Amino acid sequence: MLTLGIETSCDETAAAVVRDGQEVLANIISSQSIHSKFGGVVPEIASRQHLKTILPVYEKALKEAGVKLDDIDLVAATNGPGLIGPLLVGLTFAKGLAFARDIPFVAVNHLEGHLVANLLEHKEIKRHHLALIVSGGHTMLVEVRDFGEYQLLGATKDDAVGEAFDKVAKLLGLGYPGGAKLDKLARGGNPSFVKFPRALRLEKSFEFSYSGLKTAVALYLKKLSETEIENQKADIAASFQEAAIEVLVDKTVLAAEQKQCSPGWRSCNPHHALAGLRLGAFRLSRVRGLLHRCRETDSQYHPAPRLPTMRP
């Protein structure tokens, strides 16, 4: 069976063709760079960009997969969460294709798409596992009891960690989107240079909060001259990143201890699936490295960078 997936929930237009729910034949992504001058995604502009790019992205996906629309058996599209305007572009386009072909249409929750993207590369993942979703606007821990059966353990109370990275990058003069630039800068810095706060780290809950960390960086920068900021920029970036990631890891380990294993958890072998991780290579390696150090017996999986966007 061939499935055509359409994704337009924010500022990326994507189309993918998947065979039998396992083999990715094509995965085309068009990112919108126009938002950088506004310092964030403008929904109306994003919608108009999707209107311009959705047809060529769709056509390229079919061409790369070596199939025609007549070969498609099912059409899926993201129906939320996301920006209303961009979502409507993808949904309307996908529904139109399905109606014209008289084939089934499936609306997809894009967070569930993040969860199951791991299965495209890691078919050995146990159905019962713990998932950490870290995407642009979402930070949450989910207990996956079976696919289609989920329990939300905790989420951010304010900013998602990805939003915090972009906002701190702007404070450091790295522009928008600046998460990847901050990640690169942090590689040359000292993560212990500044002890930024780790919000909710000691609370026995699975909730996150990153607005205070962002504010702490802003207040620290106000005390410095331009020269001092420039000299300390890499160290500030590394210190911020370490604070953000440590909370992700601590909460994931806490959830594994409370939800997956008995007090003698080191003898257990639950799976961690790092779902929807749209992090730079260095940040991702820090998350995985800290998790491995804390829980050496666990299996850890994360989708390839190309897959988190391909949600349907």
Q: Where are the domains of the chain?
A: 2-103, 124-301
Domains 2-103 and 124-301 share a fold: yes
Q: CB-based burial of residue 9 (10 Å sphere; 0-12 exposed, 13-18 middle, 19+ buried)?
A: buried
Residue with the two structure tokens 């609306």: 107
Q: How far apart are CA 89 and CA 120, in angstroms?
A: 26
Q: pLDDT-based confidence at 302, cuts 50/70/90?
A: low
pLDDT, tens digit, for every residue of 121-155? 777 777 777 888 887 788 988 888 888 888 999 99
| Residue 41 structure tokens | 């995604």
pLDDT surpassing 70 at residue 236: yes
In angstroms, the Cα distances linking 3 to 70, 153, 159 are 12, 31, 34
pLDDT surpassing 70 at residue 298: no
pLDDT of residue 73: 97
The whole-number average pLDDT for the span 204-225 is 94
- CATH topology (fold) of 2-103: Nucleotidyltransferase; domain 5 (3.30.420)
pLDDT surpassing 60 at residue 84: yes
pLDDT of residue 262: 31
pLDDT of residue 169: 92
Its pTM stands at: 0.80
Contact 51, 91 (CB under 8 A): no
Point out the least confidently predicted range of 96-110, 173-187, 290-304: 290-304
pLDDT of residue 306: 59
Three-state SS at 119: helix
pLDDT, tens digit, for every residue of 149-164? 889 999 999 988 888 9
pLDDT, tens digit, for every residue of 39-68? 888 999 999 999 999 999 999 999 999 999
pLDDT above 70 coverage of the chain, percent: 83
- CATH topology (fold) of 124-301: Nucleotidyltransferase; domain 5 (3.30.420)
